[in-house]
Amino acid sequence: MEETYLLNVEGVKKKILHGGQGELPKLQDGSKITFHFQTLKDDFERTVIDDSREAGIPMEIIVGKMFKLEIWETLLSSMRAGEVAEFWCDAIHTGMYALVSRGMRRIAEGRDPLEGQKHRCGMGNMFDYHSTGYDDLDELQRTPQPLIFIMELFRVEEPSAYKRDTWAMSKEEKLAAVPVLHREGNRLVLRKEFGQAAAKYQEAVICLRNLQAKEKPWEDGWLKLESLVTPLVLNYCQCQLELGEYYEVLEHTTELLQKHNDNAKAYFKRAKAHAAVWNEREAREDFQRVAHLDPSMAAAVKKELKQLGERMRKKHVEDRKRYQGLFQSPRGP
């Protein structure tokens, strides 16, 4: 089947290469579109610029989440599931393609797509890049030109039909997800599945940190979110203690204490991590802070200090034996 016609968008032509099935999808904010695409130059050779099949996985975009090449949502909204179509797009729609392609290529290479990018609008970033790092994209950036997109639409999923990544959630969805993730983490801890529990706590923290980034530090909105972050970080650290990831605990508790230097639980977990990696002085200092900040934890601190002393004495005995054997003169035959 082949049909050529203009969409109701200036500077766009569409040719259906293979018909799809069903009705046209009703896109809404949060819908996930899964498709393969190929980008070609509008030259005699129809030079291929990008092909998602080479990466081995289809492309996914979330409607309404500020994907930099807005025309793609328009093109995909004209397709049915299973349809393959070719679109010619004038340069008025393709000026940002070099930046979009740069990001996709970096992801495929396992690199950070935002490496070197300043936190500015898309057009501002366009002028910040002296080079994209790819010769063919540099050419497109210098001289925007018409492009051809060949797309195969696989499916459109409504927001409620798939598990959404945290970055794709709205503010309300993130806030609603946090207590659910917290409860799931607690349930997994009871089952001693500490790795999975840590992942749940971490995902909840990411939701809240994303929201905090839009608030002014130390003002009411930021502080309210911070009060939700703190217990999640402590739960995450407890899981890491159980898993033996002591340096991970040291990193996160230290970061937490830089903001909240009166948090006895954070000092307690950091002290246990210091003790586990033989940092005796640091462990004792943190345990003493715990007893000072929260007298109700004095008994637990006393027990930990006793265990620390016993472990350190045992270690010193073993070290002495090891060094004595090392420096003894070898016996003759």
> Which domain CATH number covers 145?
3.10.50.40
Name every residue whose Cβ is closer than 8 Å to that of residue 293 and which is 6 or more positions away in sequence: 262, 263, 264, 267
* Whether 199 and 321 share a structural domain: yes
Q: Does residue 56 belong to any structural domain of this protein? A: yes
Q: Could you give the number of structural domains in the chain?
A: 2
φ and ψ at residue 52, rounded to 5 degrees: -65, -25
Task: Note whether 16 and 1 are within 8 A (CB).
Answer: yes
* Whether 111 and 245 share a structural domain: no
CA angle at 202 for the pair 220 and 164, rounded to the nearest 5°:
90
By C-alpha distance, which of 80, 108, 96, 101 is closest to 38? 101
Residue by residue, pLDDT tens for the chain (333 residues) are 455 677 788 999 999 999 999 888 888 777 889 999 999 999 999 999 999 998 778 888 888 765 668 899 899 999 999 999 999 999 999 988 998 888 888 877 765 444 544 433 443 444 444 577 888 999 988 888 999 999 999 998 886 555 556 655 677 878 888 998 999 999 999 999 999 999 999 989 988 988 888 889 889 999 999 999 999 999 999 999 999 999 999 999 999 999 999 999 999 999 999 999 989 999 999 999 999 999 999 999 999 999 988 988 888 887 777 776 665 555 555
* Whether 12 and 61 share a structural domain: yes
Q: How far apart are CA 130 and CA 137, in angstroms?
A: 11
Q: Which of 157, 192, 214 is the last residue of a domain?
A: 157
* Whether 147 and 203 share a structural domain: no
pLDDT score, position 284? 93
Beta strand residue intervals within the chain, DSSP E: 3-6, 12-18, 32-41, 48-51, 59-62, 84-89, 147-157
pTM: 0.53
Q: Tokens for 208?
A: 């809240």
Task: Note whether 200 and 186 are within 8 A (CB).
Answer: no
* Whether 78 and 115 share a structural domain: yes
- Start-to-end CA distance of the chain, whole Å, equals 93
Place of tokens 């909204």: 77
* Whether 75 and 206 share a structural domain: no
